[in-house]
Structure 1
Amino acid sequence: MEIWKRYGEKEVSHSMAHYLQTVALLKAEKGHARVGDIAEHLGVSKSGVTSMLRSLEKRGLVRHERYGCVELTEEGSGFASRTESSRRVLSMFLTEILGVSEDVATEDACMIEHLVSPEVSVELLRLTTFMRSKHPAAANFREAYRNSPRSCKEHEPGACDLCGATCLRDSLITPIGRALQRA
């Protein structure tokens, strides 16, 4: 099966991940998570929360009795904490290593957090840990990266050996690319 077709087969959707993280957060902050609390935190309707909880319950990620508190199962709790950890590592990598603004890093990490494989998460953690270390090679790399040009090497239009036929940087700095960035 092609990779793009498997995208929808992830164990939970982006929305589901946010619901699980919200339940975990509310439990930590208030000691409980109720439908109304979840709805308020996420800015959604109570009926929307109830519908999502049914889906999460079918997957064995939460337990919820009508008008009662929502409880994460062991699997749901594990998923929520792994997703939160993945977001933290991604955000740290984007801000501290790549130098992306905190706002952009937070948004992008949120979009990516539950999509990367465990293997990629572990290697990204390893790379981020090394790059933040005081190791001379890490310090040299950080300095060299900060001073490197923010473009591919010079090339003829449509012939970028790194990006392919359309250089990513060129397409992002055109008027259309700038409009997409603002949208």
Structure 2
Amino acid sequence: MEAAKKDKTSPKKKLADKPLTATMEDYLEAIYDLDQDKKVVRVKDIAKRLDVKMPTVTSALKTLNERGMVHYEKYEYVELTTEGSAVGHEMHRRHRLLLKFLTDILKIDHQVADEEACKMEHALSLSTLERLADFMAFIQDCPRAGESWLEHFDTYRTSGNKPQACASCTEQFSCEEIGGQRPSGVAQPKPVIKRKVSGKGGAPAGRKRSKNP
């Protein structure tokens, strides 16, 4: 049997190919945010931002430096590489989007929302995040949603009572009967009429149309 071929991939290349951990992404996001506020980023700035000890930051920076995400030498300033900046920017974008959703849409306390956004930003796929962004834009742009819609949601969330505007809207829609009985509080569907339309060959076709459009 032939001896297995030696893997000639360098240790540094192997390390760079491994996915970033959530902690690494947090560091890159913190450095990115600090870089937007300051001209230089120091180890003590990162430690304060992430509420960790400076030796912990130094150890993390060493790993990120080996992975080509930062430029760092002991006692020097910290700089993101092009790749590290791209990751930091993406994590910043994710965090801001999730924070806005949690605070503006779900009305969650800002501090709690900030902590939750930190956890969520690492788990959601890009496609899910973009879908969430589209949903938020739709709420703001749709004439049947907007600020009043969010106010109705807040009323429902805090009191458990359905706003009158929502109750009126619900009555316009029908639903299937469940177990031979309609669910409590759901209005009886409005009657519909059928209108025959001649198709090709004279075969009649039926289409239901609401009595009141």
Q: TM-score, normalised by structure 2?
A: 0.58
RMSD of the TM alignment (CA)?
Answer: 2.8
Q: Does 1:35 align with 2:43?
A: yes
Q: Is the 8 A contact 2:33 2:92 kept in 1?
A: no
Q: 1:41 to 1:149 in 2, by over 3 A?
A: closer
Does 1:17 find its partner at 2:25? yes
Distance 1:147 1:66, change over 3 A: closer
Counterpart of 1:125, as a letter, is A
* Structure with greater strand share of residues: 2
- The aligned residue for residue 96 of structure 1 is 104
Aligned to 2:86: 78
* 1:117-156 alignment runs, 5 A limit: 117-137=125-145, 142=150, 145-146=153-154, 148=156
Greater per-residue helix proportion: 1
| Gap regions ≥5 residues in structure 2 | 1-17, 159-182, 185-213
Q: How many residues in Structure 1 have an aligned counterpart in Structure 2? A: 144
Going from structure 1 to structure 2, the CA distance change for 1:26 and 1:98 (only over 3 Å counts) comes to: closer
C-alpha distance in structure 2 between counterparts of 1:32 and 1:12, whole Å? 24
Q: Deviations over 1:43-68 (max 9, x none)?
A: 32222111101221232211112222
1:133 deviation in Å? 2.6
Distance 1:74 1:104, change over 3 A: same
Higher RCO (CA < 8 A, seq sep 6+):
1
**Is the Cα–Cα contact under 8 Å of residues 89 and 128 in structure 1 kept in the other structure?**
no
Q: Displacement, 1:20?
A: 1.1
Question: Could you list the per-position Cα deviations for residues 71-116 of structure 1 after superposition, in whole angstroms to 9, with x for gaps in the alignment?
Answer: 1111211111111111111111112222222222111111111221
Give the partner amino acid of 2:79.
E
List runs of 5+ in structure 1 lacking aligned partners: 1-9, 155-183
Matched, 1:114 2:114: no
Cα shift at 1:121: 1.0
Q: Which moved more, 1:32-41 or 1:83-92?
A: 32-41
How many percent identity over aligned positions?
Answer: 34
Given that 1:97 and 1:131 are in contact with CA atoms closer than 8 Å, whether structure 2 keeps it comes out as no
1:58 aligns with 2:66: yes
Residues 92/40 of structure 1: CA separation in 2 closer, same or farther (3 Å cut): closer
Cα 1:36/1:143, change in 2 over 3 Å: closer
Stretch deviating more after TM superposition (48-57 or 58-67): 58-67
Q: Paired residue for 1:162?
A: none
Of structures 1 and 2, the larger Rg is shown by 2
- The CA distance in 2 between the partners of 1:67 and 1:47, in whole Å, is 12
